[in-house]
């Protein structure tokens, strides 16, 4: 079935007009289509809105045009002899983080082994930190399963619009039963008022969303509005576990191949000048304070890795209780010169290198690793304190972005 609006006239009128318009009728006939709208659909008396379907079936029946809308076009309604599709449903797993009693959660942290019997070994302390928070999260916000209906997302829809819609339907029923001109006028006024309320609600919602954004948040929100959401492309596979194993094996082999090629690469002999002797020596790291760690955490985005024991947003609400533990972990890591084993794990997401590439070969994917929040905080402190960020680096660096990289390239050229 095809529903469309044309800038031409009815079938009989077209035959006596321009050749290009008559060609359109010939096209309809050649495709064995039937035009179901017979009456005028425009206030000038022409049939501009069409409903086409195959002449071989009875999909379309009972076509009705309504002229009470404020538009210059009539609304064309038809009855389709098809069954209504069932609403799309899907199973999800979630935690009701917002319903957590924060005060009770904080008290449980203070009563946990993190405070009553903290481990002295770094790896054991990290394991204790993660296991304790996971247990508390399962206690206060257990993982639950729900079957939800997929509906269009309309955050701007409010109670006032809902009541205006109810009033519109009420006036529509009144006019259909009476057919009086006064009721038609009242209906048109309510349609105009309802559409205006929707426009104002959308405008106000998006204006509020963009009002207090920094440049990064503004880019993300505008990109979300302008770019349609697309599903992630993956190779076809019946068993998800098998696909995960394939990706894991491929990326591991790729890493081993790169290491082997670097080991076997021919080296060029170079002469390294001997540096002047330095009278000062670097013997250790400065101990971090709770205030400096708190500043790093609050200044970091509230992004969460799937491997984190609790969401970062929840962690920031419990900084008074967790900051001393996190500070101890970071200081032990720097003092011992050892990065905790648990922090060396990452959640890897395969992404196509280019949208138009073939999704079947695994070589067309690049691994995107997401580290735990606490691991990134430890790395951040080490890199900042020792000025180890490359001057040419733009990614994952404060006050640097794609814009600064492009400005640097343009300036150098």
Token pair 């209780």 is found at 321
Domain ranges of the chain: 2-80, 159-226, 250-259+286-412
User: Both tokens of residue 240?
Assistant: 């998800």
Q: What is the pLDDT of residue 239?
A: 82
In whole angstroms, what separates CA 205 from the centre of its chain?
18
Q: What is the pLDDT of residue 136?
A: 96
List Cβ neighbours of 341 (8 Å cut-off, separation of 6 or more): 123, 126
Token pair 């000062």 is found at 280
Q: What is the pLDDT of residue 141?
A: 93
Average pLDDT in the 350-375 region?
89
Q: At what angle do helices 319-336 and 290-298 cross, to 10 degrees?
A: 110
- End-to-end CA distance of the chain: give it in Å, rounded: 57
Q: What is the pLDDT of residue 167?
A: 94
For residue range 257-311, what is the model confidence (pLDDT) as tens digits?
Answer: 988 888 887 766 666 666 565 555 555 667 788 898 898 888 888 888 899 999 9
> In whole angstroms, how far apart are CA 65 and each of 37, 43, 74, 282, 315?
8, 12, 6, 85, 59
Average pLDDT in the 230-241 region?
79
Average pLDDT in the 63-86 region?
77
User: Both tokens of residue 219?
Assistant: 């880019």
Q: What is the pLDDT of residue 335?
A: 84
């Amino acid at each position: 079935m095809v529903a469309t609006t044309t800038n031409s006239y009815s079938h009989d009128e077209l035959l006596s007009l321009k050749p290009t318009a008559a060609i359109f009728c010939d096209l309809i006939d050649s495709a064995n289509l039937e035009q179901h709208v017979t009456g005028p659909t425009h206030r000038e008396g022409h049939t501009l809105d069409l409903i086409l379907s195959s002449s071989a079936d009875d999909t379309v029946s009972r076509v009705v045009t309504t002229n009470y809308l404020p538009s210059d076009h009539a609304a064309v309604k038809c009855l389709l002899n098809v069954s209504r599709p069932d609403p799309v449903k899907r199973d999800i797993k979630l935690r009701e983080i917002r319903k957590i009693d924060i005060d009770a959660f904080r008290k449980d942290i203070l009563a946990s082994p993190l405070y009553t019997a903290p481990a002295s070994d770094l790896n054991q302390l990290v394991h204790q930190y993660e296991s304790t928070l996971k247990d508390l999260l399962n206690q206060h916000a257990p993982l639950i399963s729900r079957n939800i209906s997929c509906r269009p997302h309309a955050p701007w829809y409010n109670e006032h619009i809902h009541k205006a819609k109810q009033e519109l339907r009420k006036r529509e029923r009144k006019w259909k039963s009476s057919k009086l001109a006064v009721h038609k006028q009242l209906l048109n006024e309510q349609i105009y008022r309802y559409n205006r309320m929707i426009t104002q609600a959308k405008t106000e919602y998006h204006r509020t969303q963009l009002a207090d954004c920094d440049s990064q948040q503004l880019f993300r929100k505008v990109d979300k509005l302008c770019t349609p959401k697309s599903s992630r492309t993956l190779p076809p596979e019946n068993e998800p576990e098998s696909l995960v194993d394939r990706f894991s094996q491929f990326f591991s082999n790729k890493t081993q191949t790169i290491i082997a090629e670097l080991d076997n690469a021919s080296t060029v002999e170079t002469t390294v000048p001997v540096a002047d002797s330095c009278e000062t020596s670097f013997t250790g790291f400065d101990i971090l304070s709770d205030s400096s760690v708190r500043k790093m955490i609050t200044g970091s985005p509230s992004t969460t890795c799937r491997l984190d024991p609790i969401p970062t947003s929840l962690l920031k609400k419990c900084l008074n209780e967790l900051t001393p533990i996190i500070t101890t972990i970071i200081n032990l890591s720097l003092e011992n010169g050892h990065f905790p084993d648990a922090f060396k794990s990452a959640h890897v997401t395969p992404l196509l290198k280019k949208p138009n590439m073939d999704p079947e070969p695994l070589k067309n994917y690049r691994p995107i690793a997401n580290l735990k929040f606490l691991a990134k905080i430890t790395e951040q402190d080490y890199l900042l304190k020792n000025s180890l960020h490359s001057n040419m680096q733009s990614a994952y660096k404060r006050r640097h972005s794609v814009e600064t990289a492009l400005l640097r390239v343009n300036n150098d050229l």
